[in-house]
A and B are shown apart, each in its own frame.
Chain A
Amino acid sequence: MAEHDEDPWTQRIRQQLEDSARDLDATTLSRLNRARQAALQAARRPQPRPWLWPTLFATAASLALAVAIWPRVVPSTVAPPTAVAAPEDFSMLAGEEQLDLYQELDFYAWLDAQPSSESG
């Protein structure tokens, strides 16, 4: 800046610019004053948070989406019914002689439920 301060040409330019700003008309000065007061009033009010509601909405939407798709993405921890027979079923299946008994299991169950002829 010092080199320009010593330059008379620059000084004349600066003075002319200062004059142009100093002698603004009353209407313009009034509008500037109102603009300044409006800005200072805005400074007294609490800061608006325009990002707050979009952020809250985005968070809520993300949570809802996560809840909706969670069961589809994560496999159920409950084991599906398996077709593999239990060990006692193997012994049952292996013994051919007992198959008839098991096939007639419903009959024996019914028979067991009948009242005894001795008691009647």
Chain B
Amino acid sequence: MTPTLAMHWMDSDRPATSRNHDALDAFLRGIERRALRMAEFAVGSRDDALDIVQDCMLTFVRNYRDKPAADWAPLFHRVLDSRVLDFHRRHQVRSRWFGWIDRLVGREGEDVDALADVADAQVAQPWQAVADGETAAALESALRALPHRQRQAFLLRIWEGLDVADTARAMACSEGSVKTHLSRAMGALRARLEHHHG
């Protein structure tokens, strides 16, 4: 028996659940960092983005693990988008009902550290150390400034590499809408980043 055949035999001898587990693990490993960054662009906070991705992984595995692997990427991003929208809805409701408390109380009583939001020049973010920090910050700022659907279309098509049909499935919209959102996103990003990216 050749090594290749032996590996195939051993693989076929393993339980289907174990193979599915390995495939799911590989899929999640491959997508988790991009998903985190996409969620971070959408909600503006690393911690909130981590919570969203964790919830997204759980929901995806519970509901879609038995779907064909070719469908996993659009389904995962569909769940991720749903979690991001839930996050924004919760914050809207919270600010509607409890925003007046913040206005009444003000921030005088809070122990606010004015230096908390200032970046420490000695501890640069690793990814900013690799890329040009100014350009990376400009890109992040430009992506956050995009409307949600435009940013989603841009990231799924350009970064995630989904085709138009899968992007439309992930965004729960028509393929024509994907093209429209992508075109507008590209135009807005080019306008904002022309000084940085030429």
Where the two chains meet, the residues of A that have a C-beta atom closer than 8 Å to any C-beta of B are 1, 4, 9-10, 12-14, 16-25, 28, 31-32, 35-36, 38-40, 42-44, 47-48
Cβ-based interface call for B161 (8 A): yes
Quick check: B127 and A9 within 8 Å, CB to CB? Answer: no
Within 8 A of A (CB), among B121-147: 125-127, 129-131, 135-136, 139-140
- List 13 A-B pairs, Cβ < 8 Å: A9-B197, A10-B186, A17-B37, A20-B140, A22-B130, A28-B36, A31-B50, A32-B33, A35-B57, A36-B28, A39-B61, A40-B28, A40-B61
If the complex has contacts A1-B157, A40-B24, are A21 and B36 also in contact, measured as CB distance less than 8 A?
Answer: yes
Quick check: B135 and A28 within 8 Å, CB to CB? Answer: no
Nearest-CB residue, chain B, relative to A9: B197
User: A10: which B residues are within 8 A, CB to CB?
Assistant: 158, 186
User: B158: which A residues are within 8 A, CB to CB?
Assistant: 4, 10, 13-14
Most B C-beta atoms less than 10 A away, residue of A18, A35, A47: A35
- Quote the shortest CB–CB distance from A89 to chain B (angstroms): 76
Quick check: A21 and B28 within 8 Å, CB to CB? Answer: no
Where the two chains meet, the residues of B that have a C-beta atom closer than 8 Å to any C-beta of A are 17, 20-21, 24-25, 28-29, 32-34, 36-37, 46, 50, 53-54, 57-58, 60-62, 65, 125-127, 129-131, 135-136, 139-140, 155, 157-159, 161, 163, 186, 189-190, 193, 197-198
If the complex has contacts A4-B158, A9-B190, A17-B37, are A39 and B57 also in contact, measured as CB distance less than 8 A?
Answer: yes
Q: Is the interface of B mostly helix, strand, loop or mixed?
A: helix
How many angstroms from the CA of A7 to the CA of B17 in the assembled complex?
Answer: 42
Quick check: B36 and A39 within 8 Å, CB to CB? Answer: no
Q: Which of A23, A31, A39 contacts B28 (CB 8 A)?
A: A39
Quick check: A19 and B50 within 8 Å, CB to CB? Answer: no
User: A40: which B residues are within 8 A, CB to CB?
Assistant: 21, 24-25, 28, 61
User: B186: which A residues are within 8 A, CB to CB?
Assistant: 10
- Quote the shortest CB–CB distance from A102 to chain B (angstroms): 84
Most A C-beta atoms less than 10 A away, residue of B21, B58, B60, B140: B58
How many angstroms from the CA of A2 to the CA of B131 in the assembled complex?
Answer: 25
User: A21: which B residues are within 8 A, CB to CB?
Assistant: 33-34, 36-37, 127
User: A28: which B residues are within 8 A, CB to CB?
Assistant: 36, 46, 50
User: A23: which B residues are within 8 A, CB to CB?
Assistant: 125-127, 129-130
How many angstroms from the CA of A75 to the CA of B12 in the assembled complex?
Answer: 66
How many angstroms from the CA of A43 to the CA of B53 in the assembled complex?
Answer: 16
If the complex has contacts A19-B130, A23-B126, are A42 and B61 also in contact, measured as CB distance less than 8 A?
Answer: yes
Nearest-CB residue, chain A, relative to B164: A1
If the complex has contacts A9-B190, A13-B197, A39-B57, are A20 and B37 also in contact, measured as CB distance less than 8 A?
Answer: yes
How many angstroms from the CA of A17 to the CA of B160 in the assembled complex?
Answer: 10
